[in-house]
Chain A
Amino acid sequence: MADNLISLDRLKAFWHSQVHHEQTRAHNMKLLRAAGLFAGSILLMRNYGDLMAI
Chain B
Amino acid sequence: MAGLVPPGPTTVPAGESKKAEEKTDFMNLPCPIPFEELHREALMSLKPEAFEGLRFDFTKGLNQKFSLSHSVYMGPTEIPSQSAETIKIPTAHYEFGANFIDPNLMLIGRVLTDGRLNARVKWDLTDNLTVKANAQLSNEPHMSHGIVNFDYKGKDYRSQFQMGNAALFGASYIQSVTRHLSLGGEVFWAGQHRKSGIGYAARYETDKMVATGQVASTGVVALSYVQKVSEKVSLASDFMYNYITRDVTSSVGYDYILRQCRLRGKIDSNGCAAAYLEERLNMGLNFILSAEIDHRKKDYKFGFGLTVG
Show the binding face of A for B, using Cβ within 8 Å. 27, 30-31, 33-35, 37-38, 41-42, 45-46, 49-50, 52-54
Chain A contact residues: helix, strand, loop or mixed: helix
Q: A41-B225, A42-B225, A49-B235 are in contact. List 8 more A-B contacts (CB 8 A).
A: A35-B239, A35-B248, A37-B268, A38-B238, A41-B235, A45-B227, A52-B235, A54-B230
Decide if A49 touches B229 in the complex (CB within 8 Å): yes
| Shortest Cβ-Cβ A-B pairs, 7 listed | A34-B250, A38-B239, A45-B227, A34-B269, A41-B237, A41-B252, A37-B250
Q: Which residues of A contact B209 (CB under 8 A)?
A: 46
Cβ 8 A contact of A34, one of B229, B235, B249: B249
Is A30 a contact partner of B248 (Cβ separation < 8 A)? Answer: yes
A30 to B242, CA, bound (A): 13
**Count of chain B residues with a beta carbon within 8 Å of a chain A beta carbon:** 24
**Residues 234-251 of chain B: 1 if any A CB is under 8 Å from the residue's CB, otherwise 0?**
010111010000101111
Contact B238 A27 (CB under 8 A): no
B256: interface (CB < 8 Å):
yes
Cβ-defined contact, A45 with B237, below 8 A: yes
| CB contact under 8 A between A50 and B250, given known A34-B269, A37-B269 | no
A-B contact pairs, 24 of them (CB 8 A): A27-B246, A30-B269, A31-B241, A33-B250, A33-B269, A34-B239, A34-B250, A34-B269, A37-B250, A37-B251, A37-B252, A37-B269, A38-B252, A41-B225, A41-B235, A41-B237, A45-B235, A46-B227, A49-B229, A52-B229, A52-B233, A52-B235, A52-B254, A54-B258
Q: Are A50's CB and B269's CB within 8 A?
A: no
B275 contacts the other chain (Cβ, under 8 Å)? no
The reply to whether A42 and B237 contact each other, CB–CB distance below 8 Å, is yes
> What is the distance, in angstroms, from A33's C-beta to the closest C-beta of chain B?
5
B238 contact set on A, CB distance < 8 A = 38
Q: How far is the CA of A18 from the CA of B36 in the complex (A)?
A: 36
Contact partners of B232 in chain A: CB under 8 A? 53-54
Chain B: minimal CB distance from A14 (Å): 17
| Cross-chain contact of A31 among B248, B252, B254 (Cβ < 8 A) | B248
* In the complex, chain B residues whose CB is within 8 Å of the CB of A53: 229-230, 232-233
Residues from 236 to 286 in B contacting A, C-beta threshold 8 Å: 237-239, 241, 246, 248-252, 254, 256, 258, 268-269
Q: Which of B225, B239, B250 has its CB near the most chain A CB atoms (within 10 A)?
A: B250
Cβ–Cβ < 8 Å partners of A37 in chain B: 237, 250-252, 268-269
